[in-house]
Structure 1
Amino acid sequence: MEDKVHGVFVGEKVSKVRWKPEDLVESDIFLTGSWDNETNHLVLWLYPPNEDDADIYPCTIGTHPYDGDITELKFINSNMFVVSSTVGSVKLLKIDGKEPCLAALKEVMSWDDIHFLSVGGHIPCTGLAVFEEDIVSVGEDGCLCLLTARQKMPVRRIEGADSCSLRCVCFLKHNEVLTGNLRGQMKVWDLKNAVNKPASTFMLSGEQTGASCVTHHPTQRHMVLAGGEDGSLTVWDLRHHTFPVTLLSAHSDAVSELQFHPDRPEHLFTCSTSGEIWHWNTSSMSRSAHLGTMPSEFPRDENLWLNSDVAKHRLEVFTLMPQLHKPINSLDVSKNRVVCGCDNEAVYVFKNVVL
């Protein structure tokens, strides 16, 4: 697969990378955020869809300086996105310009110091989740903030949502979010409930392993996957969420990010601080279920990740490139393209990924 990989030197450690959303086609533009600099940067990249020229590489089309290490990037539509950082702020920016070569990044709104110390000083915002124009932010202060792109004032702030650092968050429904903390405790929050208590609480695993990232299945939001600091993948069915239904030993170090393919959810992609980026393929399991060749006790319409025996023994896992000697911090998927950002100050684009 090496002939399908294009790497480009960035000059900064890359903490986050996201494709610009497109409705029907592969995206040509992606965004990166850096960390570990006095002044970090958001960088907009163009990767032209010229499949005939193997020497086409991503090129920079816009940059924007940013205070603090960038900890998360999330698009809320095709041109607007939110950014969080270690200075406790969340900012809303837009890609301005009709032509890619004239694109510029402009700040629209800023929520400053929404994560802070009571004695003064900011504290890192560690995660963001978006649902249309609604934004949830979590931080090392254990606070959960609900924002909206429509106004400057936060909609809601849950102080002490957790007694330790919150590490990750995702929307399950418009009014429901899931958070994971440093001790591996997962909490579901009903944002319609005025009481600042979680609707339910459960553990990542039997040990106090920190949750590093979390996502839900694109079409079955009751199915949630979380990555652990120990490199494990944990699967829950939130209709029966007391215990995980599947626990997989995966990477040799913390799972940095995990993402289902938005259109082909039988494909999952993960990356790790161990320098690995993997493609998990359940399509052969799906075909077996459709043809009726799976074990009779496994329901044909059940999600294959929710059967521990099947997931452990029939998953196909491929590495997209040889293991790096530096952490891979982030990845994103657009149609048949995968992009990842690393601590070796490089970005890699994988084109024509076989799905």
Structure 2
Amino acid sequence: MDMTYLSRDVLGVSSSTGSVTVYQHSNDDKATLSSLASWDRCHALASGDAASCTGLSSNGSMLASVGEDARLLLLNPGETAPHRVIESGGDSSEYAVVFVKTSEVLTGNMQGHLRLWDTRTSGNSPVTTMISNLQEWVRQVSCHPSQQHVVAAAGEGGTLTLWDMRSPQQPFTCISAHTAPMTEARFHSGASDHLFSCGLDGQLVHWDASNTSNITSKHTGSDGSPGLVTSWLDARVGRGEVSTTALLSSGPLPLNSLDVQADVLLAASDNEAIYVIRNVILY
């Protein structure tokens, strides 16, 4: 269901059986995988049936997983049982999760709620809850690589929603992005003015907000503090004026996931192919 790296050669994998496994892969010619830790059926329904583990994220030492049992689990590869179980308090499946900071986790669910959790506290109440007027299923969330208060959410209705978590009352903007449910939206880690998205419509889209970077746009947080300057919070982005390029046009089958590093982008499709796009223009 999802994969994420904890380090260069250690990755976590979640499955539809509700299990999470941590693997280490060798860098030799054999390219072997060995299991370092596993939590079988750690996501399960009250009936005892397995609940799919739908999302996985890492802060480098710990894994956060969410699933159809509406729970957030913190998993330490050195412990046989979940390090912590957080009951979300709702009956809506959690489908997306990402570490915003080392001790803060953001989740998204089928009701369109984004909730921020502080893992240092002992309670089961989120620090912040953000609700979009669209109320559509949040399938995946991505944080800006250097300004973690900026969040992009991929929606079931094909909508790209940008949030400023300093002003959580409403999203900064909602942009019609795909003609079918989005499966992923991801900021480029080294060129944060660029974002990439894919969806069940078979499209792979490059979003470029760098044309707003030459204008200083101030933003004030809900607490009155001055905000950081970022191209994604520019007024023109709020109006949907973002340059877009279709890297893959609509195909007969969905695109399920993507990743990008430097100027190389990978996308996985339902046709059991991985597309490799090189020389992605970022400047």
TM bin, normalised by shorter chain, reads over 0.9
* Paired position in structure 2 for 1:90: 20
* Paired position in structure 2 for 1:214: 141
* Paired position in structure 1 for 2:273: 346
Match of 2:13, SS state, is strand
Residue identity matched to 2:9? N
* Paired position in structure 1 for 2:50: 122
CA distance 1:272–1:308, change in 2 (3 Å): farther
Q: Work out which of the residue numbers 107, 112, 117 in structure 2 matches 1:189.
A: 117
Q: Work out which of the residue numbers 270, 284, 289 in structure 1 matches 2:215.
A: 289
1:189 shift after superposition: 0.9
Matched, 1:74 2:1: no
In 2: Cα distance, 1:237 partner to 1:121 partner: 37
* RMSD between superposed Cα atoms in Å: 1.6
Task: Answer whether contact 1:252 1:274 (CA < 8 A) is retained.
Answer: yes
In 2: Cα distance, 1:231 partner to 1:281 partner: 18
1:268 shift after superposition: 0.5
In 1: Cα distance, 2:128 partner to 2:88 partner: 16
Task: Answer whether contact 2:105 2:117 (CA < 8 A) is retained.
Answer: yes
Give a deviation string over 1:234-289, Cα, whole Å, max 9, x none: 11111111111111111111110111111111111100111000111122222x32
Task: Answer whether contact 2:142 2:185 (CA < 8 A) is retained.
Answer: yes
* Paired position in structure 1 for 2:106: 178
* Paired position in structure 2 for 1:13: none
CA distance 1:120–1:83, change in 2 (3 Å): same
* Paired position in structure 2 for 1:324: 251
Task: Answer whether contact 1:329 1:341 (CA < 8 A) is retained.
Answer: yes
Matched, 1:299 2:229: no
CA distance 1:313–1:177, change in 2 (3 Å): closer
Task: Answer whether contact 2:94 2:108 (CA < 8 A) is retained.
Answer: yes
Residue identity matched to 1:183? Q
Which has the higher relative contact order, 1 or 2, with Cα contacts under 8 A spaced 6 or more apart?
1
Residue identity matched to 1:93? Y
Residue identity matched to 2:95? R
Residue identity matched to 2:99? F
* Paired position in structure 2 for 1:246: 173
1:118 shift after superposition: 2.3
Q: Please, which runs of 5 or more residues in structure 1 have no aligned partner?
A: 1-70, 291-297
In 2: Cα distance, 1:261 partner to 1:160 partner: 30
Q: Please, which runs of 5 or more residues in structure 2 have no aligned partner?
A: 220-227
* TM-score of the superposed pair, with normalisation by structure 1: 0.74
1:119 shift after superposition: 2.3
* TM-score of the superposed pair, with normalisation by structure 2: 0.92
* Paired position in structure 2 for 1:62: none
Give a deviation string over 1:85-144, Cα, whole Å, max 9, x none: 100000000112x43x22111111111111112222211111011101111110101011
Task: Answer whether contact 1:281 1:317 (CA < 8 A) is retained.
Answer: yes
1:161 shift after superposition: 4.1
In 2: Cα distance, 1:146 partner to 1:127 partner: 12
Residue identity matched to 2:48? G
In 2: Cα distance, 1:167 partner to 1:111 partner: 19
Residue identity matched to 1:325? P
Residue identity matched to 1:299? K
Match of 1:240, SS state, is coil
Task: Answer whether contact 2:56 2:65 (CA < 8 A) is retained.
Answer: yes
Sequence identity percentage? 36
* Paired position in structure 2 for 1:39: none
Matched, 1:333 2:237: no
1:199 shift after superposition: 1.3
In 2: Cα distance, 1:306 partner to 1:159 partner: 33
1:318 shift after superposition: 0.2
1:160 shift after superposition: 4.2
Task: Answer whether contact 2:88 2:125 (CA < 8 A) is retained.
Answer: no
Match of 1:197, SS state, is coil
CA distance 1:284–1:308, change in 2 (3 Å): closer
Match of 2:239, SS state, is helix
